[in-house]
Structure 1
Amino acid sequence: MKKRLFWKLFALIVLGSISLMMVAHWLIVHTEQKMSFISPLHQQTLRDYAREAEQYYQQGDMATLTQFLARVSDEEQTWVAVVESDLTPIAGTTLLPSYKERFTLGRDVSWKIHLYFKENPVMDVTFEDGNTHFLILLPQHMRPGTYWPATSVLMQIFLPILLMSLISIVIYRHVMQPLRQLQHAAKQVAEGDFSIRLKPRLGNRSDEIATLAETFDSMAEHIGRLIQNQRHLTADLSHEMRTILTRIELALGQTENNKEHIQALDRIRTEVQQMRRMVEDTLTLAWLDGESPQLQTDEMDLTELIDSVVEDARFEFPTREIALTIPDYAPVSHCSDRVLGHAIENVLRNALYHTPEGGTVSVQLRQAETEYLILITDQGPGVAEKHLEDIFKPFFRLKRQNQSTYKGFGIGLSLAKRQVEALGGRIYASNIASQGLQITVTLPLPVVYVKQN
């Protein structure tokens, strides 16, 4: 059957609506019935009045009876009377004994009172002789159904709301439970678990949601195969390129003794080294993007790490100055010295590449209220405002007149961004007023430092 979910919901709503009307009708009728009778206490009061009047009547004490009836009338603010009835058939007719036994001049105190009539009924308590009746217009305070109008509104409005809420909850759970499982499964897929399967968790469902689960399982399996193939391809590519680069380096080492080709060989070696660095950075970038590894495992001194990176950069770029401003101690937790060191190295190397010979690159470490700030400022030409975010994209390179002197491939800053963000930090670029580009790296302070601040 097509549209199984539609027919399920349709049947549930129809049956629920019918049940709602039946339950509401039964409750209203039942409640009205229960509220239509005089309370037992008031019934007994009326019977007591009648018994006392009957006692005076049987004793023939009409004066006391008259006083009693007047007192009851005053106390109850109503009409009261004692009446004799003499049913005399005429024209040769007779009365049925059962009719004569049931005959009253008013309503019995045990009868139901109509809640929709404005006038109060006359109540009748028959004396033992069967011909004398104690009649009283039902006092207003004894009339049943005082709360019936409010009860009627409550049952006609809030009872349907309550029952429809229950039906809505059933529908919601029937639909949302598999959707929550789908959400959980999608989260697991996003975290890299492609073995998750949703259809077995739905039991014997065979509606549209079950079809969606089957489609999701097929998608997860397909994506898992693609990711696995990509990993194998990346590993194979890495192995093959590293092997080729190693052979080229070995061949260069064997031919460097030939003085005639020394300049060309130096250029080849430089390009090979750049290619090796590009391959390693690209693989690291792909690893960070695809695997989402847990890197926040180390505790270290940020000052020592920056000082070590700067010393290596000074050796690699002897024609540039590096002005270092760092505190004596800057502890960080939930970090990775290898990953963070690589990120700072890439940013610093980029600054040194774009600073002319004899120029100065500034490296500062500051402590803010909740984070560390690493400021690396070069003396290069800067970057147009529209490209300040683009420089962190893989393989993005600005065209410059001295492009031939820059050895990068546009991987360093994008890799640094992924590395810093994987450690819970941020990285962004801004132009400084004089000349050059400033890249800011932020890292969260340890929790103890934040509390102290």
Structure 2
Amino acid sequence: MKNTFLRVFLVVLFSNMVVVAIGLGVVDFVEDRNQVSADVLGDIGVSLVSTYEKSGTSALQEQARRFEKQLQGSIFIYQENGRPLLRPLPRNFRDSTNLSDPVGAEEAQASADARRSQFIQVIGASNTQYLLVFRPQDKSDAISPWAIALLSLLGLLVSSGILAYWLMGPLLKLQKITRSFGQGEMSARVDHRLVQRNDAIGNLAREFNEMAGRIETLLSSKERLLRDVSHELRTPLARIEVALTIAEDKHGQPAQQNYLVRIRNELHELDELIGQVLTLSRLEAASMQKGTIELQPWLTDIVDDVQFESQLRGIAITKTGDLPKALHGDPVQLRHAVENVLRNACFYSGEGGAVEVSSSEVDKQAIISIKDNGPGVADDMLEKIFHAFFRSSSARESNSGGFGVGLTIAKRIVQAHNGEIQAFNRPEGGLEVRFCLPLA
């Protein structure tokens, strides 16, 4: 987005500079058009030279003053030998008594005055040549051209920045709202100030709000369906289990008893799946009971519990790191997420495997990493393992007996804490699952 802002800023700045350049060209053209006609100056020059040759300098000066008042400028006349008849031109075409500029500035001003002045050659009696110089009256204040250029450039920069921000500001707001919506905040909407705009940005804001409303409605319907179906399924399951208990009490044949045991195991698995689906649907809408968590004792307690469960398989779990000290979140839900990932790591590490749990603090985030030495996951499936009911064809999933919901639940819990969960294949083998949770 920063690159986009810079591009818009440069385009606006270039456009403004082109407009200013065209404006200056038009002004210069108009000034040239406002100059006194050469024919008029020629007639004035002939009249002044004739007066000088007939009546002398005094009459010439009186007539020249009348013409200067009429033309609103200054008239200078030189004979062919360089002698001025009225008054000599100052070095820089300006009154030298009003100047305190250095020589370089005088020469620059002389060039400007020479460009604005008009020069007419007049032929007098006996083919005597005279030079008439007419300089229009300077109507502007004595401001340095460099100062004008600097102020113009500063104005262009400020106006271009304001215009670029005016164009990009709404897009930045839309980007922020879109990011929040994409991270699971279903109530995120564009504020009314953008929605009420009668332009393309306003249309985009209104369409986004309509889209977000439809998506929220669809997700809510899906969650209600999951909850309703899960609750309805548990009722016949309960009746089947009662009937199964009665059948077991009848002491049937051994072959029948084996079938009954198999039915009970399948019922338990189905009941567990329904329980996980209910948990997943509740996480979509339920608010977290957040508070301050003493992270290190809390994490040590989780490691000890899972280590106790895995001791018969000879799995060693090591914990490293002593930062951060505290975390703001729901201790029960976060424990469920971390335990789920840690149990998976122990399962896939196999007999005598090793699992490492580490914690650190980076950029005001708590980082909890769980590393195992199992078979890992195909690189193209690292993101998919967090999808509900996804089961890869790799060794990590083929015989797990799971339902593909545990990592999805862990991800929803982490997202409810405005955090992230990611999986990486370790170079030395195995999988690393990393929790990134913002600190309070």
What displacement does 1:221 show? 1.9
| Aligned-partner Cα distance in 2 for 1:141–1:378 | 87
Offset from partner CA, 1:207-227 (integer Å, 9 cap, x none): xx25x5235414422431332
- Equivalent of 1:201 in 191, 196, 202: 196
Task: Tell me, yes or no, if the aligned pair for 1:320 and 1:361 is still in contact at 8 Å.
Answer: no
- Equivalent of 1:213 in 202, 215, 223: 202
- Equivalent of 2:281 in 280, 283, 287: 283
With structure 1 as the length reference, what TM-score do the two structures score? Answer: 0.56
With structure 2 as the length reference, what TM-score do the two structures score? Answer: 0.57
SS at match of 1:308: helix
After superposition, where does 1:161-310 map in structure 2 within 5 Å? 162=152, 169=159, 173=163, 177=166, 180-181=169-170, 183-185=172-174, 187-188=176-177, 190-191=179-180, 192-194=187-189, 196-197=191-192, 201-202=196-197, 205=198, 209=199, 213-214=202-203, 216-249=205-238, 251-253=240-242, 255-259=244-248, 260=257, 261-280=259-278, 282-283=280-281, 287=284, 298-310=291-303
| Aligned-partner Cα distance in 2 for 1:393–1:301 | 30
**Cα distance, 1:439–1:417 mapped onto 2, change above 3 Å:** farther
**Cα distance, 1:103–1:113 mapped onto 2, change above 3 Å:** closer
| Aligned-partner Cα distance in 2 for 1:404–1:428 | 19
| Aligned-partner Cα distance in 2 for 1:160–1:20 | 15
1:397 corresponds in structure 2 to 391
Residue 122 (str. 1) matches residue 87 (str. 2): no
Offset from partner CA, 1:343-394 (integer Å, 9 cap, x none): 21121121233244x4344243354776765443445433345545554454
Q: 2:169 corresponds to which letter in structure 1?
A: R
Task: Tell me, yes or no, if the aligned pair for 1:343 and 1:419 is still in contact at 8 Å.
Answer: yes
What displacement does 1:437 show? 2.0
| Aligned-partner Cα distance in 2 for 1:155–1:312 | 81
1:341 corresponds in structure 2 to 335
Q: 2:269 corresponds to which letter in structure 1?
A: E
1:149 corresponds in structure 2 to 111
RMSD: 5.4
| Aligned-partner Cα distance in 1 for 2:19–2:394 | 74
2:74 corresponds in structure 1 to 112
Task: Tell me, yes or no, if the aligned pair for 2:374 and 2:430 is still in contact at 8 Å.
Answer: yes
Residues paired across the two proteins, number: 346
Percent identity of the aligned residues?
Answer: 21
1:439 corresponds in structure 2 to 432
Bigger drift between 379-388 and 224-233 goes to 379-388
SS at match of 1:112: strand
| Aligned-partner Cα distance in 2 for 1:441–1:230 | 27
**Cα distance, 1:119–1:340 mapped onto 2, change above 3 Å:** farther
After superposition, where does 1:358-369 map in structure 2 within 5 Å? 358-367=351-360
Offset from partner CA, 1:243-269 (integer Å, 9 cap, x none): 313541453145234323541233223
What displacement does 1:162 show? 3.7
Bigger drift between 332-341 and 308-317 goes to 308-317
| Aligned-partner Cα distance in 2 for 1:119–1:165 | 50
| Aligned-partner Cα distance in 2 for 1:242–1:354 | 32
Structure 2: state its 5+ residue gaps.
Answer: 1-15, 37-51, 96-105, 117-143, 181-186, 249-256
| Aligned-partner Cα distance in 1 for 2:82–2:282 | 93
**Cα distance, 1:193–1:374 mapped onto 2, change above 3 Å:** closer
What displacement does 1:122 show? 0.8
| Aligned-partner Cα distance in 2 for 1:390–1:229 | 22
